Amino acid sequence: MSPNYGDVIVVGSGLSALLTAKYLSKHMNVMVFTKSNKYENNSFLAQGGVASAIADTDTWQEHFHDTVLAGCNHNELNSVELLTKLGPGMLQELMEAGMDFDKDEQGILSLGMEGAHSQRRILHAGGDQTGKRMMQWLHSQISHCVQVVEQETVIKVLTEDDRCCGIKTVNRLGERKSYYASHIVFATGGAGALYSYTSNDPSVNGMALALAYQAGAILTDLEFMQFHPTMLHVNNKVVGLVSEAVRGEGAYLVNDHGKRIMQGIHPLEDLAPRDIVSRAIFQELDRGGKVYLNIENVINFEERFPTISYMCTNQGIPMKNNLLPVVPGAHFFMGGIKTDLNGETSLKGLYAVGEAACNGVHGANRLASNSLLEAIVFSKKLAEHLLNKPMGNCREKLNDPLTKAKSDKPFLPLPAKSELQAMMMKHAGIVRHAEGLQKLKGWLEAYQPYWQEIDRLEVDLSLEETELIFMLQISHLIASAALEREESRGAHCRSDFPQASEAWLQKRIVHQEKIKLLV
Ligand code: SIN
């Protein structure tokens, strides 16, 4: 087999990518591509665990109900049913295969509590190191049978006859290569790094979504970016996540006068859905105040949360004061590449899974710890689907005749990435309004010639410039969607349309690149 050809190409190196690769590798030749190294991704950073109705006292119906309530009825109900119903069994299979989750002294699984859950149903591994432990275990499972290509960034989705059949990559030395496969899976994560305050790895910047869009795949729900309420905030920078599990163990939010800020805002107070907690913090900060997470009630904090304790000590936060300074940061993208329940996108041969995909499971606001479960359930679904699909007829010598008309608009110098991130934070952040979104959209449109002519420009661009152009394009789509949705629902909050509107209930905004012209 040629080194540039596989049965399946998986782009991304997080949990969804590795699980898909693990499930497929027994029967197919799988290549995994990551633009950084295999330990730099959001899954590796995930402190929070896996939500699943695994306890005898719990039911999948209750988990279903909590998911839809947090998602503000924007969820695709079939997706939620699959997630909550199949989750416990698939999790059990992983445990039987050797993945260890935390147990109490009697050997019974320890189940944690997080925001908007009606039951304790969160499994953790190593306290707050769930993502890291799962990733390490998965690498040990696949290292002998899956080729992982590091430091190669996908810069184009290759298509032929309206079918996706490969990817073009560039490495750190600027060398370009093309790879082909019957099935191309995008497990590339979301877009949190478009914002200046984020819990995401810098590589998770939405570029892959723009690539899929340019190739013709439909994107949807782009107006829904979840902000995690508690990012540790030191010297005007966010330095890491303080897991919601800390509030699950009794921590609460106070302002700089020591007043609890969630009292009277929601019956679940500090464990209200994330969008509500983030907005309450945002309002305090907007008034010029500060917000702290008071951890005085958390028993054995350092033992239970070793990663967070280490981070605080490292950042010079005195733990004896029990007050951790926090701000909200972009955390999870509910939108993404539109897929069905099997991960099929609107472009033949291209599939998406995990945060990169949008099958509607999270609605307008993801329920805490549902994303690792999403990875487990939908990676397996996708793998089973691919194993039953005929192989595409991919040829290595693709010609790429699809080019676009040359723009006569002048090219402004590209902005700094930090400028884009600050603009997104300010105008497409926790609370939006038409004026700010229009300003953002107009600012982004000035760079439109770059993404419209990326094919022609590409050879002369550095990798950083190429990434930035795709970040500008996906930001433009996010701003357009946020402007179009004239209501507030879940993570999308418009100060000029503060209520949820019946007219928008279960309506999704979809985006598809114009049909390309053959020249
Ligand atoms: C957290 O631990 O608070 C994050 C987990 C999640 O986003 O589900």
DSSP code per residue over 43-56: HHH--S-EE---ST
Question: 448 and 317 in one domain?
Answer: no
- Which residue's CA is the closest to the ligand 1 atom numbered 6? 369
State the distance from the centre of ligand 1 to the C-alpha of 146, rounded, in angstroms.
Answer: 29
Where are the strands (E) in 374-468, listed by range?
Answer: none
Q: Which domain holds residue 455?
A: 417-512
Q: How far is residue 102's CA from residue 105's CA, in Å, rounded to a whole number? A: 10
The pLDDT assigned to 516 comes to 42
Listed in sequence order, the residues at least 6 apart from 382 whose beta carbon sits closer than 8 Å to its beta carbon are 20, 185, 342, 343, 351, 353
The pLDDT assigned to 395 comes to 61
Residue 75 lies in a domain: yes
| Domain boundary, last residue among 387, 406, 430 | 387
Of the candidates 338, 99, 122, 333, the residue with the CA atom closest to the CA atom of residue 212: 338
| Domain boundary, last residue among 330, 349, 373 | 330
Residue 156 lies in a domain: no
Residue 190 lies in a domain: no
Domain harbouring 278, CATH code: 3.90.700.10
| 369 ligand 1 Cβ < 6 A | yes
The pLDDT assigned to 497 comes to 98
Residue 403 lies in a domain: no
- Which residue's CA is the closest to the ligand 1 atom numbered 2? 48
State the distance from the centre of ligand 1 to the C-alpha of 183, rounded, in angstroms.
Answer: 31
Closest atom of ligand 1 relative to the 242 alpha carbon: 3
Residue 181 lies in a domain: no
Low-confidence spans in the chain with pLDDT less than 50 = 1, 399, 401-402, 404, 515-519
Closest atom of ligand 1 relative to the 331 alpha carbon: 7
State the distance from the centre of ligand 1 to the C-alpha of 402, rounded, in angstroms.
Answer: 42
Question: 146 and 63 in one domain?
Answer: yes
Closest atom of ligand 1 relative to the 371 alpha carbon: 8
- Which residue's CA is the closest to the ligand 1 atom numbered 4? 48
State the distance from the centre of ligand 1 to the C-alpha of 329, rounded, in angstroms.
Answer: 12
Domain harbouring 451, CATH code: 1.20.58.100
Question: 486 and 353 in one domain?
Answer: no
Question: 376 and 321 in one domain?
Answer: no
| 481 ligand 1 Cβ < 6 A | no
| Domain boundary, last residue among 330, 351, 376 | 330
Question: 350 and 283 in one domain?
Answer: no
The pLDDT assigned to 47 comes to 81
Residue 373 near residue 88, CB atoms below 8 Å: no
Closest atom of ligand 1 relative to the 372 alpha carbon: 8
| 130 ligand 1 Cβ < 6 A | no
Listed in sequence order, the residues at least 6 apart from 472 whose beta carbon sits closer than 8 Å to its beta carbon are 414, 415, 420, 444, 447, 450, 451
What domain count does the chain have? Answer: 3
Question: 131 and 62 in one domain?
Answer: yes
The pLDDT assigned to 396 comes to 56
Question: 232 and 316 in one domain?
Answer: yes
Torsion-angle region of 135 (φ positive above 0: left; ψ -120 to 50: alpha; else: beta): alpha
| 372 ligand 1 Cβ < 6 A | no
Residue 310 lies in a domain: yes
The pLDDT assigned to 400 comes to 52
Question: 357 and 259 in one domain?
Answer: no
The pLDDT assigned to 450 comes to 96
Torsion-angle region of 235 (φ positive above 0: left; ψ -120 to 50: alpha; else: beta): left
| 355 ligand 1 Cβ < 6 A | no
Residue 206 burial (CB count, 10 A):
32
Question: 82 and 26 in one domain?
Answer: yes
Residue 404 near residue 455, CB atoms below 8 Å: yes
State the distance from the centre of ligand 1 to the C-alpha of 500, rounded, in angstroms.
Answer: 25
| 453 ligand 1 Cβ < 6 A | no
State the distance from the centre of ligand 1 to the C-alpha of 108, rounded, in angstroms.
Answer: 22
Residue 160 lies in a domain: no
Residue found under tokens 């992982």: 148
Domain harbouring 89, CATH code: 3.50.50.60
- Which residue's CA is the closest to the ligand 1 atom numbered 5? 48
pTM check: above 0.85: yes
Question: 144 and 40 in one domain?
Answer: yes
State the distance from the centre of ligand 1 to the C-alpha of 177, rounded, in angstroms.
Answer: 36
Ligand 1 mutation pick, 83, 200, 238, 369, max ligand atoms within 8 A of CB = 369
Residue 164 lies in a domain: no
Question: 342 and 302 in one domain?
Answer: no
| 278 ligand 1 Cβ < 6 A | no
The catalytic residues are: 274
Question: 256 and 321 in one domain?
Answer: yes
Each residue's pLDDT tens digit, 456-490: 988 889 999 999 999 999 999 999 999 999 999 99
Q: How far is residue 294's CA from residue 251's CA, in Å, rounded to a whole number? A: 5
| 339 ligand 1 Cβ < 6 A | no
